[in-house]
């Protein structure tokens, strides 16, 4: 699926009233145009079965003139391509991939859920039984060959297929049947039409009930078409959304049946269900192979010690013994029925010009099987009976299937974070129905998927908040840990923002829904995590290169092993006693060769990075740290400098006026009224702080006082201003009664020709040395007063800075504030390096200055003016309550608005890449050691020989071990500052 660009709401969690900072921000915009003249698209690539395939695709793309960068994700079967549209078209990229031997499909840049042009529809199907990329390719090939299907994309990670088709040519049932006919399980999940709804109807038990339902639907205005399946109880309705809403449709059916029919909306999140069916299918294959192999084991090991059974086995039946017939039959079932999937996948890989693990398994098992059959036929013809190795072929397939089952089981756990997030979505909600006067007259339970923006919802204690919204009545503490990672419950009062999926603790709340469905915070987090998990860390390129030459190298080594042992035996280089009973030099050499083919495992290399990245992104989401990809993880673990913006990052971003000094005979109230009038039109945090202070001075705690700047002017307590202008980095200017008023810093006063007396200068210096910002005010070209504004540091700032220093990271402050204030703040938190009086555009230059020596630099910020620096940094970290532009530019989103998460982000990155390196060490060491041992290097000196079935067991467990190693990251716990700072708690 191409990621859709949606809105994400993130909220400050430091205190109850800070929830007003909930902003509408856009996290994902990585698939639109990323710069003037540059485009980024995603391409669905079919036929990739291992890292060698993905490396081939990536190389082919990078060789195309006009492609700036290309990254291919094996697990998701997708390519991410950045190119110059002036030199290339989308079709050229598709052709490049197809020329490399793979199938390609350009994914749409917008959400795939929407009405398709020319009457085409997009359906989403749940597909069971897929365990590898070969299965994905098989399903896609079948779907694309169906008449009426325009496009088919299948995702292994989500077990979801998206099919664009012409409903006048083929139906969704035809598509489901085609998938099932190919040996997979399938079910229709949801329609891509926004004017179509799928309902589960309970209460239709007879033909009369069905007719009643049909009559209700036929009489409803706005219903275009419907279909009811009485067996499954599923109702598909096509309706006109301009005439009829989904909730009105449900209410109409319920009311028309006098409450007899109960309806439930099919959840779009069913596609996120666990891969139980796929794992069960692989388990059944393994069990089938195991039960067919057990008789072979008994015939070889147990039956020779039971005379009656042994006599039956050696009874001649035709040209062969009864035991040989039984072995041949049992192994044929295992080889060609249970093991059919290996031949299908290997054949497809070879047709695409690539080699993968399935090729090795198919070659190894086929060699053992074919030799055994030939030995039987040769014995029947010549009377010279050589030993057969049917058991070897059977045990190989059994152990490989065991490894695939364990691997499927383990890989399924890597997406647990997404599943947990999906489970947070409540099934129902209490809708508060109001009369025209706004009074509550009814409460009724509705499906949460039927919530509409503007609905008033009642949330009782202990239940989940059904949608993002604003509290309109009541107060309570809400547990947001499942979304933000913040363990402390947050007080929510009137006008506070709430996040769907979080849990209400104590009081009753009424909330007004603002974001529903795919627009909620929860949906955006899921979307971000899904997108991050398809990314490829740069370190994976090494594995891709090794994998691209791995299988051909292994096959070559196997042939050399066969020739080496055979030639050595022919010239008498080893004693005849080494040969198996009734065996020859070829059989002896063949067993070593098969072991080499089977024991080699490129899967372990291919899984080392993506599985660890998938687990890490999920763990990060659970801890309130959203990571945008594996490349961000890799850079973050090497960070040397962390540059902090001051205002809103190190500080709370809640500026308050602490000092107001007048240097003329003007009354303090009149002075504050002038300043507030000038700042009423400003959006700057300092301006809002000045306005709030002046309002409080005039009205104190009078609850009747207005709190809106525009209403402040209308109410008459502020002056009318004209010619207002904001001067970035200096202040504001306007005119009141024809006289100019300036509110800002020294630079503004000097540029405007305003004289700053010694008394005023001393006052400002004193404020700055106490970490406050001095705001000068001039009226009618005379400096009339100074305001001191303080922005308190976040309580965790100093210990986080000390913790980073303990981790070997150097913290830096960059701010547009003056040097004295910046130094005072730096001294308070313990930072040595300060860059002050830096204009917004200059912050990126500061970042680049630290990058000159090759150091990895992280930037932590929250505002629009931080976005250039966040983009310039190697690792951008946006504080969660920051602006949408800042979050777009960042690689990490710290949702809790807590600086401790900077340490968590860096520590998680380090732990993840330590695990990746360990995975690579194990994968490389395994193959480097296992292949020579399987080839018989130790046999002459130590007598160590790995039979092919033992080699198969080793291979099966190698990739499983790498996946399980990555899964250990799920035990990650964010570092405790007391541990980092080596604080001993008595």
Which alpha helices (DSSP H) does 35-88 contain, by range?
51-62
Q: Which residues pair with 498 in a beta bridge?
A: 469
> CA 207, CA 436: separation in Å to the nearest integer?
41
Q: Are 610 and 73 in contact (CB under 8 A)?
A: yes
Q: H-helix or E-strand containing 869?
A: helix 867-872
Q: Are 2 and 108 in contact (CB under 8 A)?
A: yes
3-state secondary structure of 487: coil
Measured CA angle at 424 (ends 422, 426), to 5 deg: 110
What angle separates helix 90-99 from helix 51-62, to the nearest 10 degrees?
A: 130
Q: Which residues pair with 858 in a beta bridge?
A: 642, 875
In the chain, what is the straight-line distance between the N-terminal and C-terminal CA atoms, in Å? 53
Give the active site residue among 80, 358, 645, 891. Answer: 645
CA distances from 222 to 19, 241, 242, 262, 935 (A): 40, 8, 8, 21, 73
Tokens of 843: 């912050």
Q: Are 57 and 45 in contact (CB under 8 A)?
A: yes
Q: Are 660 and 863 in contact (CB under 8 A)?
A: no
Q: Are 499 and 480 in contact (CB under 8 A)?
A: yes
3-state secondary structure of 67: strand
CA dihedral 138, 144, 149, 151 (to 10 degrees): 90
Strands 39-46 vs 103-106: parallel, antiparallel or unpaired: antiparallel
Tokens of 57: 């695709």
Strands 833-835 vs 810-814: parallel, antiparallel or unpaired: parallel
> CA 915, CA 322: separation in Å to the nearest integer?
53
Q: Are 224 and 239 in contact (CB under 8 A)?
A: yes
CA distances from 399 to 293, 314, 361, 551 (A): 11, 28, 11, 20
Q: Are 320 and 378 in contact (CB under 8 A)?
A: no
Q: Are 117 and 49 in contact (CB under 8 A)?
A: no
Any catalytic annotation for residue 645? yes
The sign of the torsion formed by the CA atoms of 616, 617, 621, 627 equals positive
What are the φ and ψ backbone dihedral angles of 840, each rounded to 5 degrees? -50, -45
Q: Are 412 and 275 in contact (CB under 8 A)?
A: yes
Tokens of 923: 């994968």
Q: What percent of the chain is helix, strand and coil (3-state, nearest 5)? A: 50, 20, 30
Identify which of 320, 323, 404 has the alpha carbon closest to the alpha carbon of residue 361.
Answer: 404
Identify which of 347, 353, 345, 348 has the alpha carbon closest to the alpha carbon of residue 101.
Answer: 353
Q: Which residues are catalytic, by number?
A: 645
């Amino acid at each position: 699926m191409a990621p859709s660009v949606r809105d994400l709401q993130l909220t400050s969690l430091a205190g109850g009233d800070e929830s007003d900072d909930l902003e509408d921000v856009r996290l994902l915009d990585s698939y639109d145009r990323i710069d003037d003249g540059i485009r980024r698209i995603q391409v669905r690539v079919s036929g990739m079965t291992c890292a060698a395939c993905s490396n081939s695709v990536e190389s082919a793309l990078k060789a195309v003139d006009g492609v700036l960068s290309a990254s291919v994700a094996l697990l998701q079967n997708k390519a991410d391509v950045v190119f110059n549209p002036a030199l290339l078209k989308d079709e050229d990229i598709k052709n490049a991939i197809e020329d490399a031997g793979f199938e390609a499909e350009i994914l749409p840049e917008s959400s795939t859920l929407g009405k398709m042009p020319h009457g085409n529809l997009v359906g989403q199907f749940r597909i069971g039984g897929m365990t590898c990329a070969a299965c994905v390719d098989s399903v896609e090939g079948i779907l694309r060959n169906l008449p009426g299907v325009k496009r088919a994309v299948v995702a292994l990670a989500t077990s979801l297929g998206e099919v664009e088709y012409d409903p006048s040519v083929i139906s969704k049932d035809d598509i489901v049947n085609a998938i099932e006919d190919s040996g997979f399980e399938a079910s229709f999940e949801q329609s891509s039409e926004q004017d179509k709804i799928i309902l589960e109807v309970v209460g239709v038990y007879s033909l009369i009930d069905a007719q009643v339902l049909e009559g209700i639907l036929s009489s409803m205005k706005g219903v275009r078409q419907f279909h009811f399946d009485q067996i499954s109880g599923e109702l598909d309705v096509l309706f006109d959304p301009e005439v009829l809403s989904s909730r009105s449709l449900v209410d109409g059916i319920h009311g028309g049946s006098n409450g007899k029919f109960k309806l439930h909306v099919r959840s779009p999140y069913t596609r996120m269900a666990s891969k139980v069916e796929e794992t069960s299918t692989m388990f059944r294959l393994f069990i089938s192979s195991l039960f067919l192999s057990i008789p072979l084991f008994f015939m070889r090991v147990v039956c020779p010690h039971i005379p009656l059974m042994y006599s039956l086995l050696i009874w001649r039946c035709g040209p062969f013994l009864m035991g040989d017939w039984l072995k041949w039959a049992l192994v044929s079932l295992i080889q060609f029925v249970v093991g059919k999937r290996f031949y299908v996948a290997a054949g497809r890989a070879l047709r695409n010009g690539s080699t993968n693990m399935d090729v090795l398994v198919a070659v190894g098992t086929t060699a053992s099987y074919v030799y055994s059959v030939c030995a039987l036929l040769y014995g029947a013809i010549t009377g010279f009976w050589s030993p057969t190795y049917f058991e070897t072929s059977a045990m190989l397939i059994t152990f490989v299937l065991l490894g695939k089952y364990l691997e499927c089981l383990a890989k399924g756990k890597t997406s647990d974070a997404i599943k947990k997030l999906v489970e947070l979505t409540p099934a129902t909600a209490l809708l508060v129905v109001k009369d025209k006067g706004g009074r509550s007259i009814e409460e009724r339970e509705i499906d949460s998927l039927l919530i509409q923006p503007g609905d008033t919802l009642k949330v009782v204690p202990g239940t989940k908040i059904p949608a993002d919204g604003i509290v309109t009545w009541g107060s309570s503490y809400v547990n947001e840990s499942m979304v933000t990672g913040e363990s402390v419950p947050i007080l929510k009062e009137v006008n506070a923002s709430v996040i769907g999926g979080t849990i209400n603790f104590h009081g009753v709340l009424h909330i007004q829904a603002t974001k529903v469905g795919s627009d909620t915070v929860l949906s955006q987090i899921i979307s971000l995590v899904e997108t991050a998990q398809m990314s490829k860390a740069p370190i994976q390129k090494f594995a891709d290169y090794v994998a691209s030459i791995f299988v051909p190298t292994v096959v070559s080594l196997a042939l050399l092993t066969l020739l080496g042992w055979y030639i050595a035996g022919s010239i008498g280089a080893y004693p005849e006693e080494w040969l198996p009973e009734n065996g020859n030099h070829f059989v002896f050499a063949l067993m070593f060769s098969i072991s080499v083919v089977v024991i080699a495992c490129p899967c372990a290399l291919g899984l080392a990075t993506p599985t660890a990245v998938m687990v890490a992104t999920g763990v990060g989401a659970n801890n309130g740290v959203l990571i945008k990809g594996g490349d961000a993880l890799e850079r973050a673990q090497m960070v040397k400098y962390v540059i902090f913006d001051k205002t809103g990052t190190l500080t709370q971003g809640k500026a308050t006026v602490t000092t107001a000094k007048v240097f003329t005979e003007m009354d303090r109230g009149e002075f504050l009224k002038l300043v507030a009038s000038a700042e009423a039109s400003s959006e700057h945090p300092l301006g809002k702080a000045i306005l709030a202070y002046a309002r409080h001075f005039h009205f104190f705690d009078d609850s009747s006082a207005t709190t809106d700047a525009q209403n402040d002017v209308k109410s008459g307590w502020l002056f009318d201003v004209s010619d207002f202008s904001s001067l970035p980095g200096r202040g504001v200017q306007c005119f009141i009664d024809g006289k100019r008023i300036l509110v800002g810093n020294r630079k503004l006063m000097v540029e405007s020709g305003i004289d700053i007396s010694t008394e005023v200068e001393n006052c400002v210096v004193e404020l700055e040395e106490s970490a406050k910002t001095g705001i000068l005010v001039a009226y009618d070209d005379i400096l009339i007063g100074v305001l001191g504004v303080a922005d308190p540091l976040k309580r965790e700032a100093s210990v986080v800075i000390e913790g980073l220093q303990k981790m070997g990271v150097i913290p830096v402050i960059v701010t547009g504030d003056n040097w004295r204030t910046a130094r005072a703040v730096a001294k308070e938190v313990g930072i040595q390096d300060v860059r002050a009086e830096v204009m917004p555009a200059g912050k990126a230059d500061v970042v680049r200055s630290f990058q000159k020596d090759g150091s990895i630099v992280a930037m932590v910020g929250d505002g629009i003016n931080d976005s250039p620096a966040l983009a310039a940094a190697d690792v951008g970290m946006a504080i969660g309550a920051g602006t949408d532009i800042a979050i777009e530019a960042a690689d990490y989103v710290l949702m809790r608005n807590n600086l401790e998460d900077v340490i968590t982000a860096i520590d998680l990155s380090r732990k993840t890449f330590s695990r990746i390196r360990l995975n690579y060490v194990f994968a490389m060491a395994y193959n480097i050691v296992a292949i020579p041992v399987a080839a018989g290097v130790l046999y002459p000196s130590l007598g160590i020989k790995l039979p092919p079935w033992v080699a198969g067991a080793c291979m099966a467990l190698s990739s499983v071990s790498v996946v399980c190693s990555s899964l250990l990251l799920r035990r990650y716990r964010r570092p405790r500052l007391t541990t980092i700072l080596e604080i001993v708690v008595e």
